[in-house]
Structure 1
Amino acid sequence: MSSTPAGSRVQLAAEGGRGPRPGGFGPTAVATPANAVTAARLVLAPVVVGLVAASGPSWTVFGLALAVAGSDLLDGWLARRQGPTRAGAFIDPLADKVGVLGVLAACAARGEVSWAPVAVIGARELWMSGYRFRRARQGVSIPARPSAKVKTLLQAAVGGLCLVPPLAGQRGLLDALLWLAALLTVVTGVQYAVDGRRRPGPDEP
């Protein structure tokens, strides 16, 4: 789960062409403190997912997930201070998706929540990743929308609630929140598609 304050990092890194800040890193840097924190989150996210799949919701798993999610605030702060990088712009949202979608899928596999809203969220995220990659290859950068940040926060919040033991049996409530997150996820996907069409690439009319 993640609050993903790195939306600005994605936009800045996609713009490119900016030199490093004094004492910071340029956009092509890979071995940076921010990227190290993000990489650690990417490695730890499957551990959290595995614990959820094996033992279900617990305060221990919730605490670990919260700590992993909190690392997103740290790498975002480091990136703002030292300069965003293209590598960070790629692995940061990847780490977020692995964590959130993995936890939701594990909970669905255990019967804690329904598969349908999880499948909708997963399909949209996969499509969006492919769409942004394709448009980026065409020279088009699609900045993060505020609504997309709200979407990510809602997904993360629902994923976190699924790990709280007292709420584990409240499938009706969790499914309702999941469908709300799925709806917002689809709406933001449509918004991104419209934004992409309004931003023709260098070789497009």
Structure 2
Amino acid sequence: VLLIATRDPAWSTFAVGFIIGMSDFVDGWLARRQGATRSGAFLDPLADKVLVLGGMFALVANGQFHWVPVAVIAARELAISSYRSHAGRRGITVPATRIAKWKTFVQLWAIGFAVIPPVVQSAHWIATTTLWVALALTLQTGVSYLLRARKT
């Protein structure tokens, strides 16, 4: 996040983000193979949200992302995290759905496209389009979680 906030698009920023993303992927793979811990089940989504929202806020501050989709994404993440926390206090687990995992993946790629130096004319367009796709997935998964919550 600090790299995004303090510099223009750079391959080094993308590389650091890619390494962080790969470590998260490996961590998730290990958790599925060896069993997730309770603390890991709480901390992993929290770390994802800090990384995604921190990166997006930095890109808004740099003028690379429009604030509206980022504000909506942040509001959804806060609402669903609050719902998960409330459900957890009642002994109910709310696991991430497959599409919610894809949502996080697309959010991270939106950030990734934004920090890559513009090697083609359409680089900004690709990052912006990916951000709006991420917003659509964010809203869809948010509605899905809320509909499931009404059934419990």
TM-score, shorter chain, exceeding 0.5: yes
Q: Does the CA-based 8 Å contact 1:53-1:107 persist in structure 2?
A: yes
1:93 aligned to 24, 45, 52, which one?
A: 45
Instruction: Tell me the TM-score normalised to structure 1 length.
Output: 0.68
Looking at structure 1, the residues matched to 124 and 13 of structure 2 have their Cα atoms a distance apart, in angstroms, of: 19
Select the structure that is richer in helix: 2
**Bigger Cα displacement from structure 2, 141-150 vs 178-187:** 141-150
CA deviation after TM superposition for structure 1 residue 167, in Å: 6.2
- Residue 166 of structure 1 aligns to a residue whose secondary structure is coil
After TM superposition, which residue ranges in structure 1, 4 or more long, deviate above 6 angstroms? none
- Residue 111 of structure 1 aligns to a residue whose secondary structure is coil
Looking at structure 2, the residues matched to 168 and 127 of structure 1 have their Cα atoms a distance apart, in angstroms, of: 37
**Bigger Cα displacement from structure 2, 65-74 vs 78-87:** 78-87
1:127 aligned to 52, 74, 79, which one?
A: 79
Looking at structure 1, the residues matched to 21 and 120 of structure 2 have their Cα atoms a distance apart, in angstroms, of: 20
Query: Paired residue for 1:137?
Result: 89
Q: Does the CA-based 8 Å contact 1:104-1:118 persist in structure 2?
A: yes
Q: 1:106 and 1:167, CA in 2 relative to 1: closer, same or farther beyond 3 A?
A: farther
Looking at structure 2, the residues matched to 133 and 167 of structure 1 have their Cα atoms a distance apart, in angstroms, of: 42
Instruction: Tell me the TM-score normalised to structure 2 length.
Output: 0.90
User: Between Structure 1 and Structure 2, how many residues are aligned?
Assistant: 151
Q: Which amino acid aligns with 1:182?
A: L
2:19 aligned to 59, 67, 76, which one?
A: 67
Query: Paired residue for 2:144?
Result: 191
Query: Paired residue for 2:6?
Result: 54
Q: How does 1:23-62 map to 2 (within 5 A)?
A: 49-62=1-14
1:83 aligned to 35, 38, 42, which one?
A: 35
Q: 1:140 and 1:168, CA in 2 relative to 1: closer, same or farther beyond 3 A?
A: farther
Task: Give me the identity figure in percent.
Answer: 46
- Residue 148 of structure 2 aligns to a residue whose secondary structure is helix
CA deviation after TM superposition for structure 1 residue 148, in Å: 1.0
Looking at structure 1, the residues matched to 111 and 120 of structure 2 have their Cα atoms a distance apart, in angstroms, of: 11
Looking at structure 1, the residues matched to 74 and 56 of structure 2 have their Cα atoms a distance apart, in angstroms, of: 10
The CA RMSD measured in Å over matched residues stands at: 1.8
Structure exhibiting the larger radius of gyration computed from Cα positions: 1
CA deviation after TM superposition for structure 1 residue 168, in Å: 9.3
**Bigger Cα displacement from structure 2, 109-118 vs 139-148:** 139-148
1:107 aligned to 54, 59, 63, which one?
A: 59
CA deviation after TM superposition for structure 1 residue 108, in Å: 1.1
